Amino acid sequence: MTTVKTSALIATMASMELEPGGVEVWRSTGCELRQWSPAAGVLCNRFVGDIAADLTPAALAFLRRVADGAPHVIAFTDAELVTSYDIVFRVRVMLGLQRLHDRLEEIHAFSRSNVALTGMRAANLVLGKIVAHASRQSFEAALAKVVAARTGVCDG
């Protein structure tokens, strides 16, 4: 059974590695966040495990950097392997997304995790811009289409 937890009493420190292509990999106890921008205004992130509150500053800073580089933002969130999340993380990221509301075109999301899907449904009630994908193939095709449109490069 998966659960949504409130912040732990003992804070953990997230660590970051930078991979080729500008991929930021943030790790904290029991979780990992990978985030990158394949084109101007396109934010991609992939979460694994139990998303900790101490990843919030990294996620919000990356969102601001992507938003600062383009007039409109499209986000792609892969939460397939999320087992749980800290409510502080979800609330603060939602507030960050609300601040960008007029510039936020869509948030494409893919997950098979019941806890992540529940969170996405709740977020969509507030934002109204979430496109849920039922398959990885659909999610990846949408990402490829947006990147091609933003870069002018067609993959076929």
Query: Residue 27's pLDDT is what?
Result: 94
The answer to whether residue 6 is domain-embedded is no
Q: What's the N-to-C CA distance of the chain in angstroms?
A: 42
Confidence of residue 150 (pLDDT cuts 50, 70, 90): very high
What CATH number is attached to the domain comprising 129? 3.30.750.24
If one counts every other C-beta atom within 10 angstroms of the C-beta of residue 4, the result is 14
- Residue 5: is its pLDDT beyond 70? no
Asked whether residue 9 carries a pLDDT value surpassing 90, the answer given is no
Q: Is residue 1 part of a domain?
A: no
- Classify residue 3: in a domain, yes or no: no
Pair 115, 1: CB distance under 8 Å: no
Structure pTM?
0.87
Nearest in space to 129 (alpha carbons), one of 111, 145, 107: 107
The answer to the question of residue 97 being in a domain is yes
**Residue 123 counted as domain residue:** yes
Helices (DSSP H) in the chain: which residue ranges?
A: 56-68, 87-99, 114-127, 136-151
Q: Is residue 156 part of a domain?
A: no
In this structure, is residue 7 part of a structural domain?
A: no
pLDDT at 3: 38
Give the model's pLDDT for residue 153.
73
What is the predicted pLDDT for the residue at 117?
86
- For 101-143, write each residue's pLDDT tens digit: 899 999 999 999 888 888 888 888 989 999 999 999 999 999 9
Number of domains composing the chain: 1
Mean pLDDT calculated for residue range 59-77: 96
Residue 12 has pLDDT above 60, yes or no: no
Give a yes or no: residue 89 inside a domain.
yes
